Amino acid sequence: MQLTVNGKPESIESKDSLNITALLEELKVKDALYVTVELNGEILERENFDNTTVKNGDSLEFLYFMGGGR
Amino acid sequence: MLTEEQILRYSRHIILKDVGGKGQQKLLDGRVLIIGAGGLGAPIALYMAAAGVGTIGIADADVVDVTNLQRQVIHFTPDVGKPKVESAAEKMRAINPDVTVNTYQEWVSAANIAQMIADYDFVIDGTDNFAAKFLINDACILGNKPYSHGGILQFDGQTITVWPRESACYRCIFPEPPPKDAIPTCSQAGVIGVLPGVLGTIQATEAIKFLLGKGELLTNRLLTYNALRMRFREVPLKRSAKCPVCGDQPTVTELRDELDAMTVCDLEH
């Protein structure tokens, strides 16, 4: 399955459909508990991570907290 | 009316078609509040003063520490120990005696922020903790005040401009602050010294465009920057109907201090 993640092409070896939680694991996303996920331009609610699956051609953005400034 | 001295001082602005004498007058009549006189706040304050933004507020309770000097370019070595707002105001007035600098030597809180932002046209977040970042967002939404969000960490930065109830806000992206100590901030994780210079200068640009009423603001798109790869990216966003503060059924209807989001490091400051 071909995805675009934060603007970069990403190939995922997966037989079945993959939900967002599994995808975050698969991609070894750091701080996955706090990442905001945008799927094809829509921000997903965290409670829907398990029941939202990705398909070939989907585009995702992982948005991370950045708390610094000083 | 611009004086002859002002026409000379701002001549490189005035010859720009999109600024001109009228635009420069708008900057001189403009009022911008900078929250945080540190890494982001330093270039923002310097450029706001140089540009002739007439009234600039700067808020920070901290004093200059030697570890700040690697990136907080508004503070100099002899300023160590001095309140940051005083150190910053001295440099701003030295750059441009035209500007009025209001200093607030205090941390923003639910108790003081609404009144503080009310006096300004535009607010810039240059703080270093989630409690302040969420508070600034909420206060600007509830107070209907356009503002620029900025965040940095190590070699990465992100910024977005928020037009309350028109464009996506910080909580549309991140509904709640992360729990205490979940995400490294300030001293633990490190930051490359030039990074706040890049992000802060973008935030200052947004304030100037806002005052001029020119160009397109950085609304509904999060600009992310990575210094190591030297890449900028834009993530398109939109206002969320489920946003806790600017959505259709808001749960944040008054200001509160997000004490859970404070880190030990914030409390030490």
pLDDT digits (tens, 9 = 90+) for A30-59: 889 999 999 999 999 999 999 999 999 999
**Candidates B71, B172, B224, B234, partner chain A, best to mutate (most A CBs within 10 A):** B224
Q: Is-above-0.90 flag for pTM?
A: yes
Strand A59-63 to A2-5 pairing: parallel
Residue B263 has pLDDT above 50, yes or no: no
Instruction: Give the structural domain span for B227.
Output: 4-268
Residue B244 belongs to domain with CATH number? 3.40.50.720
Q: Under DSSP, is residue B191 helix (H, G, I), strand (E, B) or coil?
A: strand
User: Tokens 């490294």 identify what position?
Assistant: B184
Nearest residue of B to residue A68, measured between CA atoms = B128
For residue B159, the cross-strand partners are B150, B223
Q: Are B136 and B147 in contact (CB under 8 A)?
A: yes
Environment class of B173 (CB within 10 Å of its CB; exposed 0-12, middle 13-18, buried 19+): buried
Query: What is the least distance, in Å, from the CA of B214 to any CA of chain A?
Result: 27
Which pLDDT band, with edges at 50, 70 and 90, does B261 fall under?
Answer: low
For residue A53, the cross-strand partners are A19
Q: For A38, which of B41, B125, B235 is closest by C-beta distance?
A: B235
pLDDT, averaged across chain B: 94
- Indicate the domain borders of chain A: 2-63
For residue B58, the cross-strand partners are B34, B103
Which pLDDT band, with edges at 50, 70 and 90, does B260 fall under?
Answer: low
Which pLDDT band, with edges at 50, 70 and 90, does B184 fall under?
Answer: confident
Backbone torsions φ then ψ of B132, nearest 5 degrees: -70, -40
Class of domain A2-63: alpha beta
Residue-level pLDDT at B268: 38
- The C-alpha torsion from B57 through B138 and B75 to B32, rounded to 10°, is -30
ipTM of the complex: 0.90
Task: Please give the Cα distance from B157 to B108 (Å, whole number).
Answer: 22
Q: Give how many domains chain B has, as a whole number.
A: 1
Residue A23 has pLDDT above 80, yes or no: yes
